[in-house]
Structure 1
């Protein structure tokens, strides 16, 4: 899955809360009701009548498409009375889903990015799933941060199908030539970036100056990016934590963003040999291997900050449309796709990583040369999600953090102003 897919249609779901309340005469209490719907499926239900359900999601590369088709074929073989119609939304995914949910035309089951989950949960359009779960589903097998991303007030609204954390990607040839060990702390990382920089031809660090990549760094000194659904990243502790990234570009001259060297993103900058190190996710592995096969690279867990491990995680769940009239069949699909058998098929090639610990171990991803570091970060990762106002907060943070990164203004001034503007927009 490309990085663009993780952030497709950012913010669309936030609008859904108010719009669903306004449509169809729903009052606020109805729109935000999170009480699990009574269901007879507390035990395993046998579906005997022929039924067709729809699964909506975004597209993937040909290999991912084939894996999903294989997984769905296995499901239909196990449940011959259930037919799955796979609906691919190729562009503006959340905008399309928003329109369909408002119009009562959304699929029975659909993908939901963790970033968008709080807004849809608050809008009351997702079916609570706890009462459908049987003991053999083994909820404890899920990586905890990924599961919690789709829970609210003790209620589960989705089960995560896959994820990626961030890991340190390093050019083995460059590090060996410079006599540098793989850095394990942020101090070592900064020193290594200086040593690996070769003027403007090669930068030690290919940086992505945006909140989606630096949220965990911003909170590493005890400050909070978001507090009570309001921006709080103007906190001096957040600024202190983020200052080294800005200094690496403007003082050390050891960091640059991809656009400064003519690259589209960090994986491309790294593959082109213009960065010795980048911090990227699982999606970068097949990209580099397929497009830059001459690059000898390794991965490691993200360097620690003040002795604390940290990284970001991006995850997507299967959720059930609360308005679906085929809930038993829809649950069977979710149960299979996020169960051990279905997840093993879907993640067998490593394009996506399994959110179940047992599946990662069965497939060997926890020991894989390139993916082990990504899997290792899952238990302590910060999921890219924080309340319903994160789209507004992100936009204002990114605008001003970038201005500080490229040296246009001091970081403290930039972030304090951005926080003020973000909260003014939220309160308005």
Structure 2
């Protein structure tokens, strides 16, 4: 999932949000700039802040460069040295932090945040924040993803939730007048939309990604958990299986859903664009992909259907965080508060490649009312962040290995999930 995000969005919502430190909205502007100057012994002597991130599309890179230029224009005594770490991003960051050569500010995915916070290498940011920075303006589930023990270690720069992408032409042909709003309605719609020719399915009503990053909210729909308070895998519980069973049954019993590989597609957006699925659950990264590769496709989006009477979706987000060992913390905060403040975030998200984590910016840019992106933005207030403690990588690998077999009917769901849970917990115990 993470790889797909960084490639498609670029896919994880790559590149970065940047916001207004020069205005009163971002707090600590003038005083912070003065302090940044003093760090080098005089306000006129420039401070260079290092910023590290992963690669982005050329369009996103241009937006980031524009935002960094706006920051430097407003803070002439602070220069930003931006470095792209193209390969093995987290391994490189961790190695540099251990070696005392980490960047002052860097990107951190919510997926990786708990483990890095636990290692004590991130600077708590609460003491830097002023009321003008307005933390209440962030979508709270996204902000909470970077908190631990009441302390804030990062501010989210951009995000995407999962929304329902549906083919308008297929819906019209099937006599479906509106997107389904409940899981039961989704099942009924997918049955009508599935096309069989010569005994073979040529179009599935519903395209599914059988992986934990897409199914975590289904585990939670009936009260299940991915991990318990001790960090052990817990997804084989009866409550967790209830949600997963809904997904598996549409494929194995109803024969109205399929995964991309079953139709020769690489991911859900491609499956949808090729007309091999009438409905998929995807994020903001799918929008530019579809516009570039399937410009004639008539599609709409809607919030995901409720499960067990509850709204749910996944959120994928990345924050700016500060190296605890940075020698330029005031200047680093000036940069961070600009990148995640209102003006900088507006610049960074102005083209829609990334979506703003601040509600006011989403409203100002019209994304909350946008015909395509409105449903993606709406999910931010109730989404489940892609995060479940420092053991999530181990839990994810074991879940994915077994769940895909259950989805394809190669094993029973209960047996597969119990095997995955037991194996994950053995690995977690061995790593302690």
Common topology (TM > 0.5): yes
Residues 2-401 of structure 1: matches in 2 within 5 Å?
3-5=4-6, 44-45=31-32, 46=34, 47=37, 48=43, 49-180=45-176, 181-199=178-196, 200-228=201-229, 229-401=231-403
Give the gaps of 5 or more residues in structure 2.
10-27, 38-42
| Offset at residue 6 of structure 1 (A) | 8.3
Contact 2:165 2:280 in 1 (8 A): yes
| Offset at residue 72 of structure 1 (A) | 0.2
Contact 2:232 2:428 in 1 (8 A): yes
Measure, in 2, the Cα distance between the counterparts of 1:290 and 1:107.
35
Listed one character per residue, the Cα deviations across residues 115-173 of structure 1 (whole Å, up to 9, x for unaligned) are 00001101010011111111211111110001111111111111000000000000000
Measure, in 2, the Cα distance between the counterparts of 1:404 and 1:74.
51
Contact 1:6 1:314 in 2 (8 A): no
Listed one character per residue, the Cα deviations across residues 203-242 of structure 1 (whole Å, up to 9, x for unaligned) are 1111000000010011101121211111111101111111
Answer 1 or 2: higher relative contact order, Cα 8 Å, separation at least 6. Answer: 2
Listed one character per residue, the Cα deviations across residues 1-22 of structure 1 (whole Å, up to 9, x for unaligned) are 97342899xxxxxxxxxxxxxx
Contact 2:367 2:373 in 1 (8 A): yes
Measure, in 1, the Cα distance between the counterparts of 2:394 and 2:260.
24
Listed one character per residue, the Cα deviations across residues 359-404 of structure 1 (whole Å, up to 9, x for unaligned) are 0000000000000001111110000001100111111111111110
Contact 1:231 1:419 in 2 (8 A): yes
| Offset at residue 418 of structure 1 (A) | 1.0
Q: What secondary structure is seen at the aligned counterpart in 1 of 2:428?
A: helix
> In structure 2, do the counterparts of structure 1 residues 367 and 266 end up closer, same or farther at CA, with 3 Å as the change threshold?
same
Aligned residues: 396
Q: What secondary structure is seen at the aligned counterpart in 2 of 1:44?
A: helix
Q: What secondary structure is seen at the aligned counterpart in 1 of 2:162?
A: strand
Could you say what the CA RMSD is over the residues aligned between the two structures, in angstroms?
Answer: 1.6
Measure, in 2, the Cα distance between the counterparts of 1:288 and 1:117.
31
What is the TM-score with the length of structure 1 in the denominator? 0.90
Give the gaps of 5 or more residues in structure 1.
9-40
Contact 1:205 1:276 in 2 (8 A): yes
Measure, in 2, the Cα distance between the counterparts of 1:389 and 1:43.
41
Listed one character per residue, the Cα deviations across residues 290-338 of structure 1 (whole Å, up to 9, x for unaligned) are 1101110000000001221000000000000111101111000000000
Measure, in 1, the Cα distance between the counterparts of 2:385 and 2:168.
29
Q: Where does residue 20 of structure 2 map in the other structure?
A: none
| Offset at residue 42 of structure 1 (A) | 11
| Offset at residue 253 of structure 1 (A) | 1.0
